[in-house]
Amino acid sequence: MGRLQRRSAGDSAARKRAGGRTARTGARRSSLEKMIGILDLFEEEHLRWTPEQMMARLACPRSTLYRYLRVLVNAGLITSLPDVGYALGPRIAELDYRMRSSDPLISNGRPLLEALAKEIPGIGLLCRYYRGCVLCVHQQAGANGIRSSYERGRAMPIARGAASRVILAYLKPAHLRQLFESQAREFSRVGMGRSFAKVQEHLRQIRRQGHCVTRGEVTPGVIGIAAPVLDSEAAVIGSLSITVPESGANTRRLRSITDRVAFSAQVLTNSMRQGQAGVP
């Protein structure tokens, strides 16, 4: 069973259309927001930037840009490469380690995914909803050699696949409408409907079921099964999902996998709520 491949390299463009990792428009931004916005430049398809490229993209004066860059370099968030430009710095890796050690979604969800991966041949994912995109924060592979290119830190398509779709089903209507208006063609392309009303109807059914099952939307030949992870106010935090080969997944087997995923997501939801209850 081969390696699971990503669908396309256009995910970051979709996030930009959704207003995810881009600077705010139509509002005056503070100096701090502008400086932090430099980090938003480092997308998967453009990981190194020269000062000239930054100035052109940000419409920022040279003196101001170099002042921001000096602060970010000193903090280790970016690093200067001779004759190349700027890239993300070592502090990012340090913060990633700390997040893996402290994020309750990961610490509570990892054992659940490990148990799923032992029982079910496939790839387990924990995803967070983050600034208009769905971000994989943990991946758990079974021992059958299947791999997914959606590794930790990689954003997933907002409208494609069970891990993303089940999150959409639990978003507030105003937020969902904003995403739909920025990516209406993508919503229609995956069969969710051409109008916002149709998209809402599609997502209400997922919400009533409490889970989502998709076939081949991100990768041909696989099935994605996902359930939501909610906080104490029933707001969606993210999703727990598993991707399995379509071959051999008959109706009875699929029902069993879906029940296990939904149960695991509910256990994780309960753990997240208990953790929140202990926060003053």
> Model confidence over 52-103: pLDDT tens digits?
999 999 888 999 999 999 999 999 999 998 888 999 999 999 999 998 888 9
Map out the domains of the chain as residue ranges.
Answer: 11-89, 103-277
Fold topology of 11-89: Arc Repressor Mutant, subunit A (1.10.10)
Superfamily name with CATH number, domain 103-277: GAF domain (3.30.450.40)
Bridge-partner residues for 161, per DSSP? Answer: none
Of the pLDDT bands very low, low, confident and very high (cuts 50, 70, 90), residue 221 is: confident
* Calpha distance 159→97 (Å, rounded): 29
| pLDDT for 170 | 96
| pLDDT for 79 | 95
* Calpha distance 19→113 (Å, rounded): 31
Closest-CA residue to 240 (of 151, 138, 97): 138
The total of other beta-carbon atoms located within 10 Å of residue 50's CB is: 13
- The structure tokens listed for 183 are 């990516």
Q: Is the pLDDT of residue 148 over 80?
A: no
| pLDDT for 146 | 61
- 185 or 150: which leads in pLDDT: 185
The residue type at 112 = L
End-to-end CA distance of the chain: 48
Of the pLDDT bands very low, low, confident and very high (cuts 50, 70, 90), residue 145 is: low
pLDDT in tens, 181-207: 998 998 998 889 999 999 999 999 999
- Beta-carbon contacts of residue 69 (< 8 Å; ≥ 6 apart): 38, 51, 78, 80, 86
Q: What is the pTM of this model?
A: 0.80
Say if residues 133 and 21 touch (Cβ distance below 8 Å): yes
